[in-house]
Every structure is written in structure tokens, then in C-alpha cells.
Chains A and B, each alone.
Chain A
Amino acid sequence: MSDGGDEKLSVEARLGLVAFTIDSEPHIRVNQDECRKCSLKQCLFVCPAKLYTEEEGEIKFNHEGCLECGTCRIACPKIDWNYPRGGFGAHYQYG
């Protein structure tokens, strides 16, 4: 892997720099019924961790790598959003 000198680091590589304790249960859930009706699908681009993806017309969400910012929550009120359980999630050192 490049150390990110002059090359663009993928978001996955950048998430690899964050220390996480990952919970088995997701703390955020999407509502597929709402997603099917949604034309803008802003979750796909506003998440700084790129955790929302679209596969065969379905919105998939992966809670591992969540930076806990809340941007998706503001951008889409249909998302069932919570912080991870106490002690879980990201552990920033240089925040």
C-alpha cells in the first residue's frame, strides 16, 4: 500500500488509519421501503466514510468504519441513527 505521498488514498485505506472497536450489531439502519421511494439517494455521497452503497437497486449500509459524524442523519431523516454503544466505534487520537 502506498503511504499516500502524491497518490490518492482510497477511502478504505484512510479508514484503515482509524482505531475502531467494532460492535457486532449495527448502530445505524436504513429503511428499504423509504430507499425504494427515494430519488436523490444523498446517502451515497454525503458520508465521509462512503458506507452507503447501491447494489442491484438496494441500499446497503456497512456500520464498520462509521466516523460517527451524523452527516447522514442530517441529510436523510429516514435513517434510523444512533451512536454506537458506549466504548465501541472510533477511538480518535488526533481529533
Chain B
Amino acid sequence: MEMEEKFDAIIVGAGASGLGAAYSLAKSGFNVVVLERGQRIGAKNVYGGRIYSHVFEKEIPGFKEDAPVERWVTGERLTFLDDSSAATLELSSDFSSENSFITTLSKFNEWLGKKVEETGGLVISGIKVDDLIIEGSTVKGIVAGEERLFADVVIDAEGVNPILAKKAGLRGDWNPHEVAVGVKEVIKLPESVIEDRFNLNHGEGAANLFLGYASRYGFGGGFLYTAKDTISIGVVVRVDSAIANRISVYDIVEDFRLHPYISKLIKDGSPIEYSAHLVPEAGIHGVPKLYGNGILLTGDAAGFVLNRGFTVRGVDFAFLSGVIAAETIRKAHEEGDFSASTLSHYEQRLKESVVFRELENFRKVPNLLSNLRFFETYPKLLCEILKDAYTVGEDSKKIYPLLKNKMRDRVSMITLIRDIISVVRNL
């Protein structure tokens, strides 16, 4: 690399957001470089398991034929867990619209990296950006070890730990209640076993989210996604909740794996990888300043993740925010001005996009999900009531008295009804 070579744009981080920006800029002939600290693209990326495809189909020609899709999701389950039992809501359909698919993020980002290279973008792995070069209040480039690289603009796509964004003065750090730690295990099982156990046809996949026991009844939940010949299971716990309840985070996913409901589903499969990653949880409330002189913030670093309890969307939002950043840079390039006032176009365009529309639509969700009844009272109640209702002794039991009895001292009927209404309204 030339020592003082100047790029049109330097992108920090080869996640979906950095690669989205690089893909879009390289396609229009810009001289871009993506710097990734991982030894290869994908080596540092960890998520749950499912990607919504709409954004990608729109932006990448021939996406469906080419992308590393392992299974299209046809089965959706939401499970309430107590210490030993489970109550599941299931939706299974043919989803002919092919709305979301299961893959690993490591593989997916590696594929996106290839797309960037095919369009003429440069991705360099094994390089960590240590600092930004800031002159006055303008970002001019980056420092990586001994090297200094310059560009018209830097896209900060560093992900959920906003080390550089803090240095640029774009944001402060997350508070413990604004992020959750996700811990994951990947289990190897033959393809046919997965299909039999989850009642899937070839190429179909199941997504299962869990409330209750998985997060030790604290804010968070569990997940299970069936990939081709692996199953990803994991637990997500908000960091404030882990601290307050002194949760042994190093044991949560292993205990989840050994829960009778999960252990049956993954029987005879052994873990082949263990991983952990943070996820933003604050929704629209966690979105910081998105631009400055010579810098734009994308993806998780900007808090673009929507968690509705039963769906998590981050990868497609990350990619789209990168594409919109690229669009802004094209405009700034035309105007020959990369100051904050021109780059503010990025925020305007984001506000018109599905990213802000969704975060705005579900603005109350982080608040709603701050209600512990969803994570403790209701999962336990539901499991107990169903257990009792299905236990036939001398006389079978009527549901309503059972419900009233179980709810005593735990939650009033009014509160229950109010919670149901707020879920229906806001989720």
C-alpha cells in the first residue's frame, strides 16, 4: 500500500454495513478500501441466524441464486419456557414469498466481501484501525499501526463497540440497559435428522425464539435456528439484567442446551463452536449523531437493530445504512464538499427509508420489553397452567379457576389484560 495514497472513501469494518457501503461505492467506480481487523472477512462476526432478504434482493442483482442461503424459513415458533417445560406457538406455512433465510453471518459476510471485490472494491483483512486522523473538527483519514491512510470521507462501520465513533465525538458509550450480550453454540447434526426433527422439507428451515428460562427470567431470550447441517442455539441477556441478577453469563447457553425441551431437539449433536457478541437493544432511542465533517456512522455503531421479541433485524438494516451512506457520498463527491452540512443528507435519506420507518413504528418496543412480566411471570404462568390443564387425575380441571388460582399474588387480571393490549398495539 502506498503510504500517503488518498482514497475516495475508507471504510472501517467488513460487516454487512461496511460491505454494503463498499459494494455500492465500488459499483459506481469509487476508489474504496475496507479495513477489517479479523484475519479474514467473517472471522469476527456473530449473530443469531436469520437474514431478511428483501433489502438484499433489491440491491444485489441475482441475489437469490448466488447468496449462501442454507435454508428458507418456513416454520416460526415462539416458546415460553419454565425450568423444565415449554409451551409453544407455531406458525408453519410455505411462505412462498421467501422472506427470510438461515445462514451463518461469517459465511454471509465472506460472500458479500466477494461481491465487493467483483465490483472493484478493495477489502483488506487483518488490519485494525487504531485511530482517526482528525484535523480541526474534520476527519481526514485513519491510523493503522505505522500507516496513515487518507480519504475524502471515512465510513465508521465498526459495529456495536463504538470505540472510534466515541473518538470522533459522534456518540457516547452504551449504558448496560441499552445492549444485550448474546452467547451462542453451534451444534452439528446430519441434514436429514434436522429435517425430520423439525418437520421440514429439503431446504426449509425453522426459527424458534424463547422467553423465560433461557435468560433466567431476566430481560432477553433464547433462539434456535436450523441451518443446513448445523443448529445455532443461543441466549441473549441485557447487560443491566445480567449484572442485577448476578447471572453467570458463561453458563447460560450451556444450561439452555441442557433444558429438556432443547436437548431433545438437538439429541446426538455435539457443539462445534462457542461465541459471543453484543447487540444494541435501545431501538430508535439508541440512535446517536450519524455524521460529522468527513465521517458517517452505519450499522450497529449507529444502533440500527430492531428487536421485537420474536424477530431480530440488524443485518439488512446494516447493509441498507451502508448503501445510503454510499449514496450520500456520491452526492458529496458531486458537490466537492464532505462537510457535515452536505453529509446530513445521510440522515434525511435514512429517515425516509425502512430503517427509520421500522424503528419509529416500534418506538415503544424497548419500553414494552422492559416489563419483567413478559420474561418471568407469563412464561411460568403459561407453562404451569397448561401442565395442570393437561394433567388428568381423578377429575380434570377447568381452565378459568386454574388461571385465577395461578395468578393470585403474581399478577392481577387487569394488568394481564393491559399487557395483552399493549403487546397487540405495539408489537
**Residues of A bordering B, CB below 8 Å:** 3-6, 8-9, 11, 14-15, 17-18, 21, 40, 42, 45-50, 67-71, 73-75, 77, 82-95
Contacts and interface: CB of A to CB of B under 8 A. Distances in A.
B359 interface: no
A70 B278 contact: yes
A90 B242 CA distance: 24
B161 A70 contact: yes
Nearest to B257: A4
Interface stretch (B267-275, B282-290, B402-410): B267-275
B20 to A, nearest CB: 18
Q: Which among A14, A47, A90, A92 has the greatest number of chain B C-beta atoms within 10 A?
A: A92
A30 B149 CA distance: 32
A49 B38 contact: no
A8 B161 contact: no
A17 B272 contact: yes
A92 to B, nearest CB: 5
Given A6-B263, A91-B43, A71 B239 contact: yes
Identify whether the interface residues of A are mostly helix, strand, loop, or mixed: loop
Interface string B102-145: 00111000000000000000000111100000000000000011
B39 A3 contact: no
B39 A21 contact: yes
Given A18-B275, A69-B278, A5 B268 contact: yes
B7 interface: no
Given A50-B250, A69-B181, A95 B44 contact: yes
* Chain B interface SS verdict (over half): mixed
Contacts of A17: 271-274
B276 to A, nearest CB: 4
A53 B336 CA distance: 54
Contact of B247 (A14, A45, A84, A93): A45
Most chain B CB neighbours (cut-off 10 Å) among A4, A75, A85: A4
A90 B243 contact: no
Interface in B30-51: 37-40, 42-47
Interface string B42-67: 11111100000000000000000000
Nearest to A67: B276
A47 B270 contact: no
B246 A94 contact: no
Contact of A92 (B43, B243, B250): B43
A46 B249 contact: yes
Given A74-B175, A95-B45, 16 more contacts: A3-B270, A4-B257, A6-B263, A8-B255, A18-B274, A45-B246, A45-B247, A48-B181, A48-B250, A69-B181, A74-B174, A75-B176, A86-B144, A92-B46, A95-B104, A95-B184
Nearest to A69: B276
A49 B242 CA distance: 14
B307 interface: no
26 contacts: A4-B270, A6-B258, A8-B254, A9-B271, A17-B271, A18-B275, A46-B181, A48-B276, A50-B250, A71-B181, A71-B239, A74-B176, A74-B179, A75-B242, A84-B128, A86-B127, A87-B37, A87-B127, A92-B44, A92-B106, A94-B272, A94-B273, A95-B43, A95-B44, A95-B47, A95-B105
Given A45-B242, A71-B239, A74-B278, A95 B249 contact: no
Interface in B258-312: 258, 263, 268, 270-278
The 7 A-B residue pairs whose C-beta atoms are closest, nearest first, are: A87-B126, A86-B128, A95-B46, A14-B274, A48-B276, A50-B250, A69-B276
